Structure 1
Amino acid sequence: MKKLFLFPLILLLLSGITETAIAQNRNHLIVQLMDEWKKPVPYATLHLVRSTDSASMGISMSNEQGICTFQISMLKDVHLEISSAGYAKQVLNLSYEHGSRQRDTITIVLKKQVASLSGVTVLAKKPFIEYKTDRITMNVQQNLTTAGLTVLELLERVPGLSVDKDGNIIMQGKTGVQVIIDGRATLMNTADLVKLLRSMPADQVASIESLHAPSAKYDATGNAGIILIKTKKRNATGMYGSLNIGAGYGNFAKANVDASLQYRKGKWGLIGQYGYMYNKKSKELGIDRTDRNSVVPVYFNQNSLGHEEASNHNMRVGIDYQASKRSSFYVNLSSAHQSLDQFTSANTGIGRPLPDSSLGSVSCGDQGIRHYSSGLSYKYAIPEKGREFTVDADYMHYRSDENMYYDNRFFDANGASYKPDRNFRSFAPSAIDIYSLKADYSMTFLKNIQLETGLKMTSVGSGNQINFEEKKSSNWESDLLRSNSFTYDEDVFAGYLNLSAKTGKWGYQGGFRIEHTKSSGFSPTLNREVNRNYTDIFPNLHISYRINSMHNISFSYNRRIQRPNYQNLNPFVYFIDQYAYSAGNAYLNPQYANNLSLTYLLKNKYMIQAAMIYTSDIMAQVLLPDSANRALFETHENLESEKIYRLTIHAPLAIKKWWNASISASGMYMGYEAGDLKGKALSTGQKFVMVQSTHQFNLGKGYNLEITGKYTSPLTYATMRVRPENFVDMGLSKKLMSGKGNLKIQVNDIFNIRKQHLNSLYPGFEYKLTQKLESRIARLSFSYAFGNNGGKTQSNRESGARPEMERLKL
Structure 2
Amino acid sequence: MKKQIIIGTLLFLISLAGTATAQTISGKVTDAEAHPIDGATVILQSIDSTFVDALITDSTGCFRFNRQPAQYRLIFQHILYTTRQQEGTGSDTGTIVLSGKDYTLDEVVIKGEQPLVKVEEGKLSYDLSRLIEHKVVNNAYESLQQLPGVQEINGNLSLAGTPGLSIILNGKPTTMSYEQLVNLLKNTPASRVEKAEVMYSAPPQYHVRGAAINLILKGYRTGESGLKGEVKAGYLHDYKNGAQGGLNLLYTHPKWNIDLLYNTQYRRHRQKTNTYSRHTLNNKIYDIRQQGIIDNKGMTHHIRVGAEYKTNKESNISLAYTSAFTPDQRGHTVSDGNFATSDNRTKANKQMHNLALDYASPAGLKAGVNYTSYRSESNQDFTNKNREENTSRFQTTSGQNIDRWKIYMDREHAINNMGTLSYGASLTYANDHNTQFYHPASTTGMDQLNTDSRYKEYTCDLYAGFSKSMGERFSFNASVTGEYYKMSNYHAWSIYPTAAVTYVVEPAHILQLSFTSDKTYPDYWDLSESTGYISGYEEVQGNPMLKPSTDYSLNLNYILKNKYIFSMAYDHELHRFDQLAYQSTERLALIYKTLNWDYQQSFSATAIIPFKIGNRAEGRATLQAEYHQAKCDNFFDISFNHSKWTYLGILQNNVTLFNHPDIRMELTGLYLSPSIQGSYTLSHVWAVNAGIRWNSANQKAGLVLKADDIFNSMQGNIDIKLRNRGQYMDMHNNSYSRHIMLTFSYKFGSYKEKKHEAVDTSRFK
TM-score, reference length from structure 2: 0.81
CA spacing shift, 1:426–1:549, aligned 2, 3 Å: same
1:401 paired residue among 372, 377, 381: 377
Alignment of 1:588 with 2:546, yes or no, is yes
Aligned to 2:212: 226
After TM superposition, list the pairs within 5 Å mapping 1:213-362 onto structure 2: 213-219=201-207, 225-228=211-214, 234-235=220-221, 237-239=224-226, 240-350=228-338, 358-362=339-343
Q: 1:471 offset after TM fit, Å? A: 0.7
Aligned to 1:434: 404
1:717 paired residue among 660, 673, 677: 677
Alignment of 1:500 with 2:488, yes or no, is no
Aligned partners of 2:173 and 2:208 also within 8 Å: no
Aligned to 1:8: none
2:688 paired residue among 728, 732, 754: 728
**Partners of 2:378 and 2:725 in 1: how far apart?**
36
Alignment of 1:597 with 2:552, yes or no, is no
> What is the one-letter code of the residue matched to 1:372?
H
After TM superposition, list the pairs within 5 Å mapping 1:113-262 onto structure 2: 134=123, 142=133, 147=138, 160=149, 170-172=158-160, 176-180=164-168, 187=175, 193-197=177-181, 199-200=183-184, 202-204=186-188, 206=190, 211-219=199-207, 225-228=211-214, 234-235=220-221, 237-239=224-226, 240-262=228-250
Aligned partners of 2:577 and 2:595 also within 8 Å: yes
- SS of corresponding position for 2:187: helix
CA spacing shift, 1:136–1:585, aligned 2, 3 Å: farther
**C-alpha deviations, 1:394-414, integer Å up to 9, x for none?**
000101011111111235xxx
Alignment of 1:666 with 2:590, yes or no, is no
1:519 paired residue among 475, 487, 500: 487
**C-alpha deviations, 1:634-668, integer Å up to 9, x for none?**
11111111111011122322222111112222211
CA spacing shift, 1:558–1:250, aligned 2, 3 Å: closer
> What is the one-letter code of the residue matched to 1:742?
G
Aligned to 1:371: 352
Aligned to 2:30: none
Aligned to 1:745: 705
- SS of corresponding position for 1:481: helix
Q: 1:258 offset after TM fit, Å? A: 2.4
**Partners of 2:597 and 2:748 in 1: how far apart?**
54
Aligned partners of 1:187 and 1:396 also within 8 Å: no
Aligned partners of 2:238 and 2:267 also within 8 Å: no
**Partners of 1:636 and 1:342 in 2: how far apart?**
25
- SS of corresponding position for 1:204: coil
CA spacing shift, 1:693–1:682, aligned 2, 3 Å: same
Q: 1:592 offset after TM fit, Å? A: 1.0
Q: 1:747 offset after TM fit, Å? A: 1.7
State the superposition RMSD in angstroms: 3.8
**Partners of 1:169 and 1:290 in 2: how far apart?**
35
Aligned to 1:771: 733
Q: 1:246 offset after TM fit, Å? A: 1.0
Q: 1:203 offset after TM fit, Å? A: 3.3
Q: 1:141 offset after TM fit, Å? A: 6.0
> What is the one-letter code of the residue matched to 1:513?
T
**Partners of 2:733 and 2:498 in 1: how far apart?**
40
> What is the one-letter code of the residue matched to 1:551?
H
**Partners of 2:65 and 2:255 in 1: how far apart?**
33
Q: 1:686 offset after TM fit, Å? A: 0.7
Aligned to 2:102: none
**Partners of 2:552 and 2:570 in 1: how far apart?**
8
Aligned partners of 2:173 and 2:206 also within 8 Å: no
> What is the one-letter code of the residue matched to 1:739?
Q
Aligned partners of 1:34 and 1:110 also within 8 Å: no
> What is the one-letter code of the residue matched to 1:390?
K
Aligned partners of 1:33 and 1:66 also within 8 Å: no
**Partners of 2:96 and 2:229 in 1: how far apart?**
23
**Partners of 2:670 and 2:89 in 1: how far apart?**
44
Aligned to 2:104: none
> What is the one-letter code of the residue matched to 1:245?
A
Unaligned regions of 5+ residues in structure 2, if any? 1-41, 58-63, 98-111
Aligned partners of 2:380 and 2:395 also within 8 Å: yes
- SS of corresponding position for 2:239: coil
Aligned partners of 1:304 and 1:344 also within 8 Å: no
Unaligned regions of 5+ residues in structure 1, if any? 1-30, 46-61, 68-78, 95-104, 116-124, 351-357, 383-387, 412-417, 521-530
CA spacing shift, 1:199–1:35, aligned 2, 3 Å: farther
Aligned to 1:445: 415
**Partners of 1:807 and 1:448 in 2: how far apart?**
41
> What is the one-letter code of the residue matched to 2:334?
A
Q: 1:769 offset after TM fit, Å? A: 1.5
Aligned partners of 1:43 and 1:64 also within 8 Å: no
Q: Does 588-597 or 239-248 show the bigger shift?
A: 239-248
CA spacing shift, 1:250–1:464, aligned 2, 3 Å: closer
**Partners of 1:584 and 1:126 in 2: how far apart?**
54
**Partners of 1:788 and 1:111 in 2: how far apart?**
29
Aligned to 1:457: 427
**Partners of 1:734 and 1:285 in 2: how far apart?**
39
1:696 paired residue among 631, 636, 654: 654
Alignment of 1:547 with 2:505, yes or no, is yes
Q: 1:497 offset after TM fit, Å? A: 0.7
Aligned partners of 2:332 and 2:346 also within 8 Å: no
Q: 1:746 offset after TM fit, Å? A: 1.8
Aligned partners of 1:288 and 1:299 also within 8 Å: yes
Q: 1:469 offset after TM fit, Å? A: 1.1
Aligned to 2:61: none
Aligned partners of 2:44 and 2:75 also within 8 Å: no
- SS of corresponding position for 1:472: coil
**C-alpha deviations, 1:2-24, integer Å up to 9, x for none?**
xxxxxxxxxxxxxxxxxxxxxxx
**Partners of 2:198 and 2:452 in 1: how far apart?**
37
CA spacing shift, 1:573–1:114, aligned 2, 3 Å: farther
Alignment of 1:653 with 2:653, yes or no, is no
**Percent identical across equivalent pairs?**
18
CA spacing shift, 1:295–1:541, aligned 2, 3 Å: closer
Aligned to 1:807: 763
Q: 1:494 offset after TM fit, Å? A: 1.0
Q: How many residues align?
A: 684
Aligned partners of 1:205 and 1:229 also within 8 Å: no
> What is the one-letter code of the residue matched to 1:401?
E
Aligned partners of 2:250 and 2:754 also within 8 Å: no
Q: 1:467 offset after TM fit, Å? A: 0.9
After TM superposition, list the pairs within 5 Å mapping 1:13-52 onto structure 2: 33=44, 41-42=53-54, 44=56
**Partners of 2:148 and 2:464 in 1: how far apart?**
31
**Partners of 1:404 and 1:197 in 2: how far apart?**
28
**Partners of 2:320 and 2:647 in 1: how far apart?**
42
**Partners of 2:113 and 2:376 in 1: how far apart?**
40
Aligned partners of 2:383 and 2:391 also within 8 Å: yes
> What is the one-letter code of the residue matched to 2:624?
S
